């Protein structure tokens, strides 16, 4: 009996011409039928934005040869919606993979990440989904050491599935740290970005700002977080969910008498 290959939707937030998505497509093509719908330009920091006030344009791309690929003028979340409900309408998507992102999406960065928002959109749509990121922000980052693990993690999800409403946030350490020690399933580090704004003026005297800052880890001694894993040269995997309800607070709010 002929076995049907799993259908794998690939997207990202760095744009369809990024080096990371090329590596991801090459590795996913070894295990399934790959379909690409990715932004036509970088969408880093876009979060879960969707396009509601302008049109979205889609253009077929020859960039990945025989792999059916499209570039989208919308956001990463738009890409997932359009692929599922318009371009792959009626077909079951077995797996969604997003990335590989140029730069970490650990800790609170998952909130701002277009890479992970595409994966979360997949979870919302009932598709097992994974977001992949690398601790290297350079355009010409080296992704070669991620290759063996991309297929390993994808095949695990294809075989075992994921809890409903869950997407995996996978981060790889920088290759310069040496050989990867293994994989750690972790929780998200409790941290935040401390913003710093550089105030300047344009030639007309109008003020403008560049946003910068630095990351603050509230629990640097914790041994079970994604940042600990990455700092110790492990791949971190954090299961994420889109349900933002604080269930512990439900009872305290009810007992506190806020209801009427």
Match domain 7-189+221-255 to its CATH number in 3.30.465.10, 3.40.1210.10, 3.40.630.30, 3.40.50.620.
3.40.1210.10
Per-residue confidence at 204, pLDDT binned at 50, 70, 90?
Answer: very high
Residue 78 annotated in ligand binding = no
Tell whether 171 is in a known binding site: no
| pLDDT score of 132 | 98
pLDDT band for position 3 (cuts 50, 70, 90): low
**Roughly what angle, to the nearest 10 degrees, separates helices 19-28 and 147-160?**
50
Residue 257 has a pLDDT of 80
pLDDT of 138: 86
Q: 142, 121, 127: which is closest to 50 by C-alpha?
A: 121
Q: What is the pLDDT of residue 1?
A: 47
Q: Is 13 annotated as a binding residue?
A: yes
14 marked ligand binding residue = yes
Reported as a single tens digit per residue, the pLDDT across 43-71 is 988 899 999 999 999 999 999 999 999 99
Radius of gyration over alpha carbons of the chain, in Å? 19
For 87-99, how does the pLDDT look when each residue is reduced to its tens digit (9 = 90+)?
999 999 999 999 9
Q: Which pTM was predicted?
A: 0.94
In the chain, domain spans: 7-189+221-255
Q: Which of 23-27, 170-174, 205-209, 254-258 has the lowest mean pLDDT?
A: 254-258
Which residues on adjacent β-strands are paired with residue 98? Answer: 11, 131
Residue 175: per-residue pLDDT: 87
- Percentage of the chain modeled with pLDDT above 90: 89
Q: Which has more pLDDT, 138 or 9? A: 9
Per residue in 78-114, is it b (16+ CB within 10 Å) or e — as a string?
A: bbbbbbbeebbeeeebbbbbbbbbbbbbbbbbbebbb
- Choose among 50, 160, 141: nearest CA to 103: 141
Does pLDDT of 259 surpass 80? no
Q: Residue 234: left (phi > 0), alpha (psi -120 to 50), or beta?
A: beta
Q: Say what the pLDDT of residue 248 is.
A: 87
3-state secondary structure 40-60: CCCCCCCCCCCCCCCCCCEEE
Is the confidence at residue 258, as pLDDT, over 90?
no
In which region does residue 65 sit, left (phi positive, over 0), alpha (psi from -120 to 50) or beta (all else)? left
Digit-coded pLDDT (tens) for 127-178: 999 999 999 998 889 999 999 999 999 999 999 999 999 999 999 999 888 8
Q: Give 165-203 pLDDT, tens digit per residue.
A: 999 999 999 988 889 999 999 999 999 999 999 999 999
CA–CA dist 232, 234 (Å, integer):
6
DSSP string, the chain: -PPPPPEEEEE-SS-TT-HHHHHHHHHHTTTSEEEEEEESS--TT-TT----SS---EEEE-TTTTSEEEEESS-HHHHHHHIIIIISTTS---EEEEEEEES---TTHHHH-HHHHHHHHHHHTT--EEEEEES---TT---GGGHHHHHHHHHHHHHH---TTEEEEEEEPPGGG-S---EEE-BPP-EEEEEEEEEEE-TTS-EEEEEEEEEEES-TT-SSBHHHHHHTT-EEEEEEES----HHHHHHHHHTT---
Share of the chain above pLDDT 70, in %: 99
CA dist., res. 25 & res. 22, Å (int): 5
- Nearest partner of 185 among 240, 124, 147, judged by Cα: 240
């Amino acid at each position: 009996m002929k076995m049907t290959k799993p259908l794998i939707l690939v997207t990202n937030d760095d744009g369809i011409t990024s080096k990371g998505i090329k590596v991801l497509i090459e590795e996913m093509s070894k295990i399934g039928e790959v379909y690409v719908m990715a932004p036509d330009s970088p969408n880093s920091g876009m979060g879960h934005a969707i396009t509601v006030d302008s049109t979205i344009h889609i253009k077929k791309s020859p960039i990945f040869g025989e792999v059916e690929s499209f570039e989208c003028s919308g956001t990463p979340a738009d890409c997932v919606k359009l692929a599922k409900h318009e371009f792959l309408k009626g077909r079951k998507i077995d797996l969604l993979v997003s990335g590989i992102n140029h730069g970490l999406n650990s800790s609170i960065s998952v909130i701002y990440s277009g890479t992970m928002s595409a994966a979360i959109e997949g979870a919302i749509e009932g598709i097992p989904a994974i977001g992949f990121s690398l601790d290297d922000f350079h355009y010409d980052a080296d992704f070669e050491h991620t290759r063996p693990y991309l297929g390993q993690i994808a095949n695990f999800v294809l075989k075992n599935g994921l809890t409903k409403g869950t997407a995996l946030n996978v981060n790889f350490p920088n290759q310069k740290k040496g050989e990867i020690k293994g994989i750690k399933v972790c929780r998200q580090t409790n941290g935040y970005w401390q913003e710093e704004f550089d105030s300047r003026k344009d030639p007309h005297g109008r003020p403008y700002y560049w946003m910068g800052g630095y990351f603050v880890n509230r629990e640097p001694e914790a041994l079970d977080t994604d940042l600990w894993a990455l700092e110790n040269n492990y791949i971190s995997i954090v299961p994420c969910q889109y349900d933002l309800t604080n269930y512990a607070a439900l009872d305290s709010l009810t007992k506190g008498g806020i209801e009427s």
